[in-house]
Amino acid sequence: MGCPGTLRAVIIDHYDSYTNNILQLLQTTSTRDGLLYPHWSVAVIRFDQLSWNTFKENILPSLDAIILSPGPGNPNKDSDFGFNSRLINEANIPILGVCLGHQGIGTTFGAKISHAPNIKHGQICRISHKGAGVFRGLPQGFDGVRYNSLVLDPEELPEELDLAAWTYDPEDPSNKVVMGVQHRTRPIFGTQWHPESVCSAYGQQIINNFRDVVFDFWAGSSPWNNGTYRTIDVNASLPETILSYGTIIREASGGIQNCNLRNLQPVNAGSRPYYIKATSLGRGSAPHVIFDNVIRNISLDGEAWLDSARVHDSHSRNSYLAAATFSISYSTRSKMLSLYQQGRRLKHEILQISYWEWLDHLHTSIIQRNIDAVNPEYLDQKTEVGQPLLQLGLIGYLGYEMKRESLPGYIYKSANTGPDAHTLPDSQHMFASSVLHLDNYTGEWKLFSLIRRGCSDPIGDFISSSSPVGLSESEFESMLPHILDTFAAPPSPPHTISSPLPTFTGLDHEESYRKIIQEAQDAIRDGETYELTLTTKFTASTPDVDPFSLYLSLRERNPAPYSAYISFPIHETTILSSSPERFISIDSDGVAEMKPIKGTIAASPDKEEDERRKKHLATDVKEIAENLMIVDLIRSDLHNVSPSPTIKVPKLLHVESYETVHQLVTTIQSQIAPNVGGIKVLESCFPPGSMTGAPKLRSVQIIDRLEQNRERGVYSGSIGYLCASGTVDQSVVIRTIVKHGKKLELGAGGAITWLSEPDKEWNEVMVKANAVTTALPKGSCTAAAARDGEGGPKSQ
């Protein structure tokens, strides 16, 4: 059937982490008179943004169709479903409901909600149907991904609703489970499964069928139409009043027209106050020797070694060493921002805006806009899509508690309004105006230096600097011979040597953790969440040990592609990370890449057994479901910063092998929209979905309660750089020790699903912790207890 015109629609979002993926099914186009036009003009608005009266009077008259999103909870609760039951009852308009939206259609007309006979999250089922309405032309038994604990009772469907689609669980083939409904006299449809999931089939056809239904309805050619006629115009657009409520930024909300590569560098290149000079240094000593002799202790504001200790592929090809020119710290508890230079505090103020907004201004408007970066073509390294390079810029961490300012709908009430003198900042970054770069493939070193063209120093002015930021040409020329000499002649011993990592003791033991897992599964059973990433902590104390010597021990014990050593001496904070997981990167062309790890199994020295384990990992229903849930979440997150057609999954559920483990990894890529900076991208995707579960907001709220509002700190956040060129690379903070004052902390945890077995989950926590150091449960007296369990650790 033809589609002459552009339909105007809203997706009503219930704070679900998959809602935005529906947009990918609304990107179809047609041509008229040789011109391309979209089939849909769409905005995503949240169910609690407006009252029913406001929506009815100001929004509804301009709409041709409505899609009710998935979401956590129960449609019988106004706190979960809002005014949507009134909408379904009173609005004469085509409606498509997905998951929670589907259930809400049922309950609005009197259907009963019950627990699914077999709860399914991230699992594929076979969909059978009657072939009518949105199911027209679809084959029988196609794949659909389910994320649901609750279902409509097939024995209690009201007369108004027809059972349009169903499935039979493999566990009980005689038990029919409602997968779709259709109103008998109105254009209202529901799908229990998620057509927008990356592993669901025929999602596009379902939306195309819905479009045909909508067009027929307004054209008056449908029996559902009760005398309401409307012309559907080509290139029609939602009114500005509706678009202003949209949850997705304008730059990313467009379709095909917004897919062009962005220009990360402003157009006035060559006239900025600073430029970056790249100097080849040849081959030199091992990176830990260079760091020890060239970088360590030269700055009172901090030092960093982004260390690809385990060179696995191009993503871990490069290592970076830097000392801080100035540093930044921030606390969400007090909203206190502090800037330091040479150990002295330059600024100390309470922010009136979010820290994300302030950091975006610093990175985009003060740093990136004023610096001429080196053209990537002259960096002597061909990179893959999604693989960035650091020249110089901001290095540091965003702690998990930065969720308080990144998650829409999250409410945080701080009990502390005073200074945070004795607490760990939620974020710390250093600005590195010089960076040593090591190409781990070739062994070649390069120096990147920030050079001032004249007297102008806008970065220094912004931070109220006590000394200029960057070097003059003459200062650089005076400094360079010393650097060249250092690399020409290896530094003499003694060098720092590794010190044994201490034994850590847990805040939980098996019984206490089992209790939390049971509460998490109760929430899953009630439809409040699909997956929860629970964590716990292990602590130790080493007041007199050099943390760098501990890091050297860690990188020997557990080398990883995203290893890092970062020190912020002013707040007595040192991060010793051996993370294997990339959070997000943005390359020089604006291509973002995310690589969530969900599913890990220990490698075996026996080749036959090792192959068996890899095959098991690749086919394990529970591990695949965990990975898929986060993949769909990440796709939805990226819609907030990328045009929908650019979001791709080039590698789905791919087994990657390392020395000690095999991991189930998926690669997701997208093109960041024009004029969207790296900080905005991080904010839109933060915290990492692999550390929260899904849906993200509801999962975080439940985690707060289950973990007794215990702050995770740096753990579960991200570590990495924000380059002056606009590139970004951040890892997920797992397998990481954080030293704050005299105390050491190590976080570990795992994703809890309905299929989780509490004893195995605890064993996996202990396996993960012991991959980093010797870790004992609370109350344990022997290290043996930490090594009892066998099995495959997951990513946390």
Annotated catalytic sites, by residue? 581, 598
- Least confident stretch, 43-57, 59-73, 263-277, 622-636: 263-277
pLDDT at position 416 is 53
pLDDT band at 492 (very low <50, low <70, confident <90, very high): confident
Note whether residue 795 is domain-resident.
no
pLDDT at position 786 is 40
pLDDT band at 3 (very low <50, low <70, confident <90, very high): low
pLDDT single digits (tens) 274-285: 999 999 999 989
pLDDT single digits (tens) 743-779: 999 999 999 999 999 998 998 899 889 989 999 998 8
Helix H or strand E segment including 166: strand 161-168
Phi-psi region at 104: left, alpha or beta (left = phi > 0; alpha = psi -120 to 50): alpha
Q: How far apart are the first and last CA of the chain?
A: 49
DSSP string, 649-673: EEEEEEEEE-SSEEEEEEEEEEEPP
Residues 180 and 285 in one domain: no
User: CB–CB of 142/126 below 8 Å?
Assistant: yes
Nearest to 730 by CA among 620, 577, 609: 577
Q: What is the percent of the chain where pLDDT is above 70?
A: 93
- Least confident stretch, 118-132, 255-269, 292-306, 652-666: 255-269
Residues 26 and 148 in one domain: yes
Residues 146 and 204 in one domain: yes
Q: Which residue has tokens 């301009």?
A: 62
Residues 227 and 342 in one domain: no
Tell me the C-alpha distance between 317 and 308, whole Å. 7
pLDDT band at 268 (very low <50, low <70, confident <90, very high): low
Tell me the C-alpha distance between 338 and 743, whole Å. 23
Q: Is the pLDDT of residue 695 over 60?
A: yes
pLDDT band at 316 (very low <50, low <70, confident <90, very high): confident
pLDDT at position 781 is 57
Q: Is the pLDDT of residue 147 over 90?
A: yes
Note whether residue 84 is domain-resident.
yes
Tell me the C-alpha distance between 38 and 101, whole Å. 25
Across residues 451-478, what is the average pLDDT? Answer: 96
Helix (H), strand (E), coil (C) string for 752-791: ECCCCCHHHHHHHHHHHHHHHCCEECCCCCCHHHHHCCCC
Q: Is the pLDDT of residue 257 over 80?
A: no
Helix H or strand E segment including 234: none
Q: Indicate the residue among 185, 212, 247 that finishes a domain.
A: 247
pTM of the predicted protein model: 0.92
pLDDT at position 65 is 97
Residues 346 and 213 in one domain: no
pLDDT band at 418 (very low <50, low <70, confident <90, very high): very low
Helix H or strand E segment including 73: none
Note whether residue 86 is domain-resident.
yes
Residues 279 and 417 in one domain: yes
Q: Which residue has tokens 């927008």?
A: 196
CATH number of domain containing 494: 3.60.120.10
Tell me the C-alpha distance between 428 and 401, whole Å. 12
pLDDT at position 414 is 66
10 Å CB burial of residue 518 (0-12, 13-18, 19+) is exposed
Tokens, residue 69 = 């999103």
Q: Is the pLDDT of residue 485 over 60?
A: yes
In the Cβ-directed half-sphere of 10, how many Cα atoms lie within 13 Å?
Answer: 29
- Least confident stretch, 23-27, 397-401, 594-598: 594-598
What three-state secondary structure class fits 528?
coil
User: CB–CB of 263/127 below 8 Å?
Assistant: no
Across residues 520-528, what is the average pLDDT? Answer: 97
Across residues 586-604, what is the average pLDDT? Answer: 88
Across residues 291-302, what is the average pLDDT? Answer: 95
Tell me the C-alpha distance between 362 and 353, whole Å. 13
In the Cβ-directed half-sphere of 80, how many Cα atoms lie within 13 Å?
Answer: 20
* 323 backbone dihedrals φ, ψ, rounded to 5°: -110, 150
Note whether residue 542 is domain-resident.
yes
Residues 231 and 346 in one domain: no
CATH number of domain containing 195: 3.40.50.880
pLDDT at position 415 is 54
Mean pLDDT of the chain: 91
pLDDT at position 601 is 79
Helix H or strand E segment including 554: helix 547-557
pLDDT at position 46 is 97
pLDDT band at 384 (very low <50, low <70, confident <90, very high): confident
pLDDT at position 231 is 86
Helix (H), strand (E), coil (C) string for 129-164: ECCCHHHCCCCCCEEEEEEEEEEECHHHCCCCEEEE
Task: Kindly give, in sequence order, each residue whose CB lies less than 8 Å from that of residue 562, ignoring residues fewer than 6 positions away.
Answer: 308, 316, 577, 579, 580, 581, 582, 719, 720, 731
Q: Is the pLDDT of residue 793 over 60?
A: no
Most confidently modeled of 29-33, 251-255, 613-617, 699-703?
699-703
User: CB–CB of 503/773 below 8 Å?
Assistant: yes
pLDDT at position 296 is 95
The dihedral sign for the CA sequence 617, 621, 622, 623: positive
Residues 230 and 320 in one domain: no
Residues 239 and 312 in one domain: no
10 Å CB burial of residue 254 (0-12, 13-18, 19+) is middle
Tokens, residue 560 = 């990883």
Residues 205 and 298 in one domain: no
Residues of the domain holding 469: 274-787
Q: Which residues does residue 656 pair with via DSSP β-bridges, in sequence order?
A: 663
Residues 197 and 326 in one domain: no
Nearest to 721 by CA among 153, 319, 239: 319
pLDDT single digits (tens) 226-243: 667 888 888 899 999 999
Note whether residue 659 is domain-resident.
yes
Q: Which residues does residue 121 pair with via DSSP β-bridges, in sequence order?
A: 147
Note whether residue 720 is domain-resident.
yes
Q: What is the percent of the chain where pLDDT is above 90?
A: 77
Note whether residue 329 is domain-resident.
yes
Q: Which residue has tokens 């995770």?
A: 712
Residues 106 and 23 in one domain: yes
* Angle (CA) 122 123 129, round 5°: 120
Q: Is the pLDDT of residue 460 over 90?
A: yes
CA 423 to chain centre: 26
Across residues 420-442, what is the average pLDDT? Answer: 90
The dihedral sign for the CA sequence 771, 774, 780, 786: positive
Tell me the C-alpha distance between 103 and 150, whole Å. 8
For the chain, the domain total comes to 2
Note whether residue 685 is domain-resident.
yes
pLDDT band at 173 (very low <50, low <70, confident <90, very high): confident
pLDDT at position 785 is 42
Q: Indicate the residue among 247, 266, 299 that finishes a domain.
A: 247
Task: Kindly give, in sequence order, each residue whose CB lies less than 8 Å from that of residue 129, ignoring residues fewer than 6 positions away.
Answer: 135, 138, 140, 164, 165, 166, 179, 180
Tell me the C-alpha distance between 76 and 39, whole Å. 33
